[in-house]
Amino acid sequence: MTDMRKLRGLCAAMLAGGAVFVTAACNEARETGAVTSKSDGKTSTAPAAEAVEDKDMALVRVINAIPGGTPISIWAGDSAAFSGVAYQKATAYREIPDNMFNFQIKSSAEGKALAENRENLKDGGHYTIVALPDQGGADKRNLRVLDDELKPVDANKARVRFINGVPGDTDVDLLIAGREEPLFDGVNFKSEAGWNEFDPIAGTLEVRPDNGKNILAKLGNAKLEGGKTYTFVLSGRPGKLELIKIEDDVAKEPAS
């Protein structure tokens, strides 16, 4: 029996037994419906978690945050799962078997891996692979595999996470221009600051050094809408840093 099916059985048992609480994991297993994603003017749709789970599959996408302009390919085990992913682009989710995979950046099956990360994909789960530069030199790379933990969001809240993809010792803050309190504070290289929920807001997003005033990057006319989920990745080189934005609209799975 798969992990997700075990979880659904546990949730059902808790409900049948009159439990007064249900874990967040149960809510996600039961409620994560289709996901509509927008990035760089393109829209894609992924099926509901339960439909993917029934096929023993997971949903995976890639963000290329490696400056230099060369598209990358991500291999999952012996197969090229994603090919030709351009810099600052995000792919749509695609189905990959739920299994333990060694994800690698390389040009061919026999090519040398520039970076790798081993991850156990769970059936029905959503994952984002973020390809990053490395502090060790121009020929080095990093791979982060993030469990997206997607779920429907309250209509009065925006769900946001922020990843610092710029090598160096500078921790950074993500703020809305004109506001003192940062959305995320002191995020270091390769770190994913976790999900936070905020009241809907619009304005210019700014990235600054931790507790600093100078602006490293900004994204104008940014809208954090209620009921939606946002991923921001800081990318680029010093002097030309930019934010990659992905918007996810997670539907609630209809009751069966």
Does the pLDDT of residue 134 top 70, yes or no?
yes
Residue 87 DSSP class: T
Q: Which of the four pLDDT bands, split at 50, 70 and 90, describes residue 14?
A: very low
HSE-CB of 216 using CA atoms within 13 angstroms = 22
Q: Is 220 exposed, middle or buried (0-12, 13-18, 19+ CB in 10 A)?
A: exposed
Does the pLDDT of residue 138 top 70, yes or no?
no
**Segment 206-222 mean pLDDT:** 95
Q: pLDDT digits over 55-87, tens only?
A: 999 999 999 999 987 899 999 998 999 999 999
The pLDDT assigned to 99 comes to 86
What are the boundaries of each domain within the chain?
3-252
The pLDDT assigned to 107 comes to 87
